[in-house]
């Protein structure tokens, strides 16, 4: 498995897999499989895939440590950028289908509806993380400051769940909210627990020890 993760084709394969949700949405829309309200379905689907991608990127570090597979870290930046990618698609779907790209209406809607404000704040933080995820930004900020900045992904997780909760509150439908909240609570709780543990001897826990550039947390 470790050799496969280091194979030159591994990253392109993960990239293609991450594009599958977008391909599925395009095909489903073109073939009228999005239900009676395809606009609403697209907005919700892009939001769901943003949350799923966020859960996936936050699962990389626990999996890397628990399975002693440091090679997983090489996919973390790509996965983090896909969180931002699907978040942007979610915003564009809302801005297009709900607001017709009317900036004044969008700004009024953000100010009027708290769940849209919270979602916008989460996307702004994701934009900051995506913009500083490259090696030049890491070198410019320095390792410690970069890591401190990228801990904002935890705030993104909280804002994303709050956005989802408020969005579903109108229909009193919290089953999916509870599921995603539980997954993120486990992933973030593991980080808190692991941070207070002494690092295991011989297990690389920092980008310098692994000999690889830092990535999204």
Torsion sign, CA atoms 3, 193, 175, 76: negative
Share of the chain above pLDDT 70, in %: 91
What 3-state class would DSSP assign to 151? coil
Report domain extents, the chain. 2-210
Using an 8 Å Cβ cutoff, are 51 and 160 in contact?
A: yes
Q: What is the mean pLDDT of the segment spanning 161-169?
A: 94
Q: What is the mean pLDDT of the segment spanning 155-173?
A: 92
Q: What is the mean pLDDT of the segment spanning 108-117?
A: 94
More confident of the two residues 198 and 78: 78
pLDDT tens digits, residue range 38-75? 999 999 999 999 999 999 999 999 999 999 999 999 99
Whether residue 3 has pLDDT greater than 70: yes
- The per-residue pLDDT for 215 is 45
Write out the two tokens for 102. Answer: 């009317």
Q: 197 pLDDT band (50/70/90 cuts)?
A: confident
Please enumerate in sequence order all residues whose Cβ is within 8 A of that of 114, keeping only pairs 6 or more positions apart, or say none.
166
Please enumerate in sequence order all residues whose Cβ is within 8 A of that of 203, keeping only pairs 6 or more positions apart, or say none.
65, 68
Q: 199 pLDDT band (50/70/90 cuts)?
A: low
| φ and ψ at residue 8, rounded to 5 degrees | -55, -25
Percent helix / strand / coil, the chain, rounded to 5: 80, 0, 20
Using an 8 Å Cβ cutoff, are 26 and 54 in contact?
A: no
What 3-state class would DSSP assign to 32? coil
Question: What is the maximum alpha-carbon separation in the chain?
Answer: 57
Using an 8 Å Cβ cutoff, are 69 and 212 in contact?
A: no
Using an 8 Å Cβ cutoff, are 186 and 103 in contact?
A: no
- The per-residue pLDDT for 202 is 46
Mean pLDDT for the chain overall: 89
More confident of the two residues 194 and 92: 92
Whether residue 180 has pLDDT greater than 60: yes
Q: 31 pLDDT band (50/70/90 cuts)?
A: very high
CB neighbours (10 Å) of residue 174? 13
- The per-residue pLDDT for 58 is 96
């Amino acid at each position: 498995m470790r050799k496969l993760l280091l194979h030159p084709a591994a990253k392109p394969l993960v990239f293609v897999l991450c594009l599958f949700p977008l391909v599925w949405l395009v095909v489903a829309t073109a073939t009228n499989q999005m239900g009676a309200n395809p606009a609403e379905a697209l907005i919700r689907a892009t939001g769901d895939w943003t949350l799923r991608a966020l859960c996936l990127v936050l699962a990389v570090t626990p999996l890397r440590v628990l399975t002693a597979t440091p090679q997983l870290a090489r996919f973390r930046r790509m996965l983090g950028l896909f969180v931002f990618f699907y978040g942007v698609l979610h915003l564009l779907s809302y801005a297009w289908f709900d607001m017709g790209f009317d900036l004044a209406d969008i700004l009024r809607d953000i100010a009027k509806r708290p769940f849209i404000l919270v979602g916008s704040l989460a996307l702004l933080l994701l934009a900051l993380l995506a913009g500083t995820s490259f090696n030049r930004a890491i070198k410019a900020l320095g390792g410690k400051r970069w890591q401190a900045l990228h801990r904002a992904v935890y705030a993104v997780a909280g804002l994303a769940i709050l956005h989802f909760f408020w969005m579903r509150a109108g229909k009193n439908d919290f089953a999916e909210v509870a599921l995603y909240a539980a997954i993120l609570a486990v992933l973030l709780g593991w980080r808190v627990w692991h941070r207070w543990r002494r690092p295991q001897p011989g297990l690389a826990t920092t980008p310098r020890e692994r000999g690889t550039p830092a990535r999204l947390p």
